[in-house]
Amino acid sequence: MSTPPPSARAPRPAPWVRTRLRAAPLGTLLAAALAFVAVLLAAALPRAQDRGADQALRSFLERSGHTDTSLQVTAPAPVAGQSAEALDRTLKSLLSHTGGTFRVDPEAVVHGTRTTKRQPLLNPELSRPSGFPPAMSLLYVQEAPAHVKLVEGRWPSDARPPAGAPEGAAAYDPPLQVALSQRAAETLGARLGSVLRSTPLVDGTPSVEVVGLYAVPDPTEDFWVGLDCLPRACEHYNGENLSWHVDALIGAGDLGRMDTWGDTAEDFWRLPVDVGSLRADRLAATTKEIASYVAGPTAATLTRETARQRLRTTSWLPELFKQAHDRRQAAAPLALIGPAGVGGVAFVVLCLAGALAGDRRDAELRLLLARGGSRAGIVGRLLGEGAVTVLPAATAATALAVLLLPTPRLAPALLSAAVVALLALLAFPVRAAVLLTPARPAGRWRRPVAELLVLVATAAAVLEVRRRGVAPAGSDPDPLLVAAPLLLALCGGLLLARLQPVVTGWLARAAGRRSGLVGFLGLARAARGSGAGGRQARGRSGPSVLPMVALLLAITTGGFGAAVLDSVDANRLGVARLAAGGDAAITAFGKASLPAGLAKAAGELPGVRTSVSLWIDHDSSILGMTLRSTQTSVIVAEPAAYAELSRVLGCGSFDPALLAAGGTQSADAPVPALFSAGLARLAGPGTFTVRPGNGGEVKAQVVGVIDCTPARPARDAATVVLPAGPATALVGADQPNQWLALGSVDGERLRALVRAALPPASPTQGSSPAPSPSPSSAVAAGRDPGAAADPADDVYPVRTSAEAVAELGADPLQRSAERLFWASVAGAAGFALLAVLLTLMRTVPERAALLARLRTMGLRRRQGVALILAETLPQTLAATLGGAVVAAAAVALLGPAMDLSTLVGASVPTGVRLTAGPVLTQALGLAALVAATVLVEAATSGRRQITTELRAGDQR
C-alpha cells in the first residue's frame, strides 16, 4: 500500500493553550495586566518598607553623634616596647573582627596614646584667669597631621631622643617635644620655643618644649569629637574659678616617655561604625555582634590576640539599636495597616477575576466535561493557560520592582510576589474545579459557622489590642493585632451582605407602589442579585459579598489610617504650639525688652488672629506664704487676649473676667492673680506680695488656679499670671519682653520685621551679651546652621509653630510610614474600583439581554442608564456607609491602644482621636469615584451592548 502524499495527511490538532489565548486576546491581556499590577505591588511594598526602615535607622544613628556610634577601645600603655607600630598592630587585630553585620570605616579611625592626668603648668608667664595655673595633657594621635595645618615650627620628631644625662634625671631630659594649637598658644600666652614645666618630682621636673604651632581648618570635623582641647584651650571651672585646659601633640619618638608627664598613659582606638552600611532587618544580629565585641567571645579573642589583658571596649550602639527597634515598633502599625488593606482588596479582586472567567467559560467547560474530559485534565489545561499568561507578567513585575526599589534584601519581595502570582494563577482553575464539581445539597450551617468564626477572631483581636496595644513593648507587632481593622471590615461586609438585600427589597417594594418602572426594577435586581451563565442563571439569594468586602476593606483601612495621621498632625501642632507659646513668638534675650512698636507691628502682620504682648520674669519671689519666699515666674498680660491664647493651646484656660478688674484698679489695690496648682496649694487664700527680680513689689490676691500657661507650659512650674494695669506697670511690666500670637504667621517675614526694629548703632540690646547660637538652636529656628548668625536672631529669637511642626515631622521614619500608607490607600482604592468593574462585567450578558428586551418595549437610553445606576449604586452606597461606620468603630475600639509619640516626634498621650473629617473624606471620595466609574461604564457600554443584543437575538 502506497504512502499518501504529505498534502493528504490529516492536519495536526492545534495546541490548546495557543488556541484558547488567541480566541480571547483582550481577556488574555487583561489577565496579564491584572497579574502584573498585583505582583508589582506585592514585590514593591516589602522593598519600600525595607528602604524606609534602613533610612530611618541610619538617620537616627547619624543624629546620635559620632561618639555614640563608635567603638571606644582602651588599654594601658605597655611599660616597655611602646611604639607606633605596636598601636598599628593592635588596630589591625581590632579591624579584623569587623565586617560581618557591621563594618568600620578605616579612613575615619582615630587611634593613639594619651596621658590620663593633666599636669599643671607652673610657668609664671602663662595665663591664669582666676589665679589657677593651666593644665596640660599629652596625646599622640597618628592621624592628626592629616587634619591640621602646620603654621609655624616643625612637627615633633618620630626618632627616639638620645640618652640623657645623669641617672635619675634621664627620664625628663631632654624635654618632650610637642606641637600646640595656635589658638591654645595664644590663650595660654605660650609661643614657639617655650619650655613648659610641670610640678617638680623627686627625680626631676617634667617639661615639654613647643616645637610647632598648628591650625585646625575645620574644628567641627568628626575627627575632633572627644579631642575638644586639641583645637583650642578649654575652659575649666572649679566652682566659680576659671582655668585653662589644653592638650598637646607629641611625636612617635616620645611615646616611651609619655608616662613621665602624667604618671600613666593609655592607648586608645576609636572605631567609627559605618552607619550607612547598617540594615534594619539585621539589627538583632548586629546587636549581638556588637555585644560580643564589647563583652563576649570576640572581646576574649581580641585580648588573647593583642596580648593586652586589660583591653576594654565600650559603645552606646546596643542602647541606640534598642531605641531604634522601639521606634520602628511604634511606627509599624501605620506602616503595616496600609499594605494589609491593599493585600486584602487585591485578594478579593483576584477571586472576582477568577469568578468572572469561570462564568464566561462555564458552558465551554461543561461541554468538555460532557464529551469525556476529566476534571483533572481540564483544570490542568487551564493551569497551562494561566502559566503562559501570569508567569511572564509576574516575572516582569518582580524584576521591575527590584530595579525601581534597590535594597539588599530580596527574599521578602520574592516570597510576596510568588504568593500573589500563585493566587493569580490558581484563581480561575480553582473556580473551574468548583463549577465542574457535582452539585451537593447546600448545608445551611456553613455560612453561619464561617461568619461566627470571623466574629470570634475579630473579637479576640480587638480585645488583645485593647489589652496589649497594637505594638506590644519588647516584641514585634502581632499580625493578628495589625489585622484587627481588616477583621472589623470583614465583619462589616458580612453584616451588610445580610442587611443590604433586605433594606433594598423594602425600597423596591416602596418604589413598586409608584408609577415608574426603572426604580423598582433596578432596586429589585439589586436586592435579588444577578449573575451570568451556568448556575448563576438560576438566580441568587442576594448580591455578591466580594465587591462589598473590597469596598469596606479599602474604606476602613483608609479611614482608620487617615484618622491616625490626623491625630498625629493635631498632636504635633499642639506640641509645637506649646513649645513656641503659640503659632508665633518673639522673645527678648536676658533682661532686655522688646523694641518699642515691635509688638504692635507684629500684631498687624497678615494672618495674625490673636496678638498678646506680655512681660515675664523668672526670678520673682512671693512673700507671705508658709515658706519665707517662693521662687516663681510672673507673667503680666492683657487678660482677654491671653485667655484666648490659653484656650486655643489647651493650657491653663481661664475666664478673663477673673483678671479684668485688675486693669482698672489703683496702684495700691491688690491685683487679682492666677496661681499655678502647686503654688496655690502652698499659698491658700489671702493676699500675697509678689516681688519681681528687677525690684519693686505688687500685692496679689488669688482668684483662680491654672494647671499650666502658654508662656511657661510646664505642668509643675510655679507661675503667677497678673493683668496688665497701673499696679503691674510700677514694676516695669509696661515694657513687654515677649510677644505671642495665633494664626498663620510667616516666620521669615516676622524675622525681617524684627531686624528692621533693631537700632542701627546697637544691635545687641540688653544687659547680658548674646551667646553664639548652637547648630541645634539654628535648626529649631528654621535657619541653616552653617549660615552666619543674624544679630536679631540672637537678641530677639523668633519661633513659629509651623517651623516646629516641620522639625518634628522631619524624621525619615515618620515620612516613610506616611508615604507607604498613602501609596497603599491609593492601591486599595484602585483595586476596589476594579472589583466594582469586574462585578459589572459579570452581569454584562444578563443586563444586555434585559435592556434589549426593554428597548423593544419603549425603554429610552436615559432610562437604561438610570436602571443600571439603580441596580449597582445601592451596594456602593451601603458599602460607603458601612465602611465609614466600621472605620469609626475601628478608631473607637483600637485607637486608645495606639502610641503616637514616635510618629509625632515628641511624647504625647496614648490614643487616636475620632474625627469625622478623615473618615468621611476616605468614604465619600471612594464612593464618588465608584459612582463616576459606574456612570461612565453605563453610558458608554450600554448602547453598544444593547445594539449587539438586538442584532444577534436572544440566544439564552
The model's pLDDT over 922-932, given as tens digits with 9 standing for 90+, comes to 888 888 888 88
For residue 913, pLDDT beyond 90: no
pLDDT at 787: 38
Vertex 250: Cα angle to 247 and 254 (nearest 5) = 135
Cα–Cα distance measured from residue 227 to residue 245, given in angstroms and rounded to the nearest whole number: 12
pLDDT level of residue 902 (50, 70, 90 thresholds) = confident
Mean pLDDT within 522-535: 62
For residue 483, pLDDT beyond 60: yes
Beta strands in 220-341 (DSSP E): 234-238, 241-250, 265-272, 312-314
Q: Tens digit of pLDDT for each residue in 74-112?
A: 999 887 778 889 999 999 999 999 988 899 988 899 999
Mean pLDDT within 527-553: 62
Cα–Cα distance measured from residue 325 to residue 320, given in angstroms and rounded to the nearest whole number: 9
Q: Tens digit of pLDDT for each residue in 228-283?
A: 899 999 999 887 788 999 999 999 888 888 888 877 889 999 999 999 899 998 99
Sign of CA dihedral 941, 945, 946, 951: positive
Do residues 816 and 763 lie in contact, with contact meaning Cβ atoms separated by under 8 Å?
no
For residue 919, pLDDT beyond 80: yes
Q: Tens digit of pLDDT for each residue in 325-343?
A: 888 887 877 788 888 889 9
For residue 145, pLDDT beyond 70: yes
pLDDT at 763: 38
SS3 state of residue 953: coil
Among 294, 399, 222, 257, which residue's Cα sits nearest to residue 72? 294
- H helices of 409-544, in order, are 411-436, 446-468, 479-482, 484-512, 518-528
3-state secondary structure 105-124: CHHHCEEEEEECCCEECCCC
Q: Identify which has the larger pLDDT, 444 or 802.
A: 802
Q: Tens digit of pLDDT for each residue in 387-407?
A: 888 999 999 999 999 999 999
DSSP 273: B
pLDDT at 794: 62
3-state secondary structure 306-317: HCCCCCEEECCH
pLDDT at 192: 92
Mean pLDDT within 888-909: 84
Mean pLDDT within 138-155: 92
Q: Tens digit of pLDDT for each residue in 582-638?
A: 899 998 877 788 888 888 888 888 889 989 989 888 888 888 776 555 678 888 988
Share above pLDDT 70 across residues of the chain, in percent, rounded to a whole number: 86
Do residues 564 and 892 lie in contact, with contact meaning Cβ atoms separated by under 8 Å?
no
Would you put residue 123 in left (φ > 0), alpha (ψ -120 to 50) or beta?
Answer: beta
Mean pLDDT within 834-850: 77
Q: Please give the model's pTM, rounded to 2 decimal places.
A: 0.79
pLDDT at 444: 72
pLDDT at 39: 95
Mean pLDDT within 353-357: 86
pLDDT at 301: 93
Among 587, 583, 565, which residue's Cα sits nearest to residue 575? 583
pLDDT at 949: 55
Q: Cα 157 to chain center, whole Å?
A: 52
What's at 168, amino acid-wise? G
Do residues 820 and 48 lie in contact, with contact meaning Cβ atoms separated by under 8 Å?
yes
- Mean pLDDT for all residues in the chain: 82
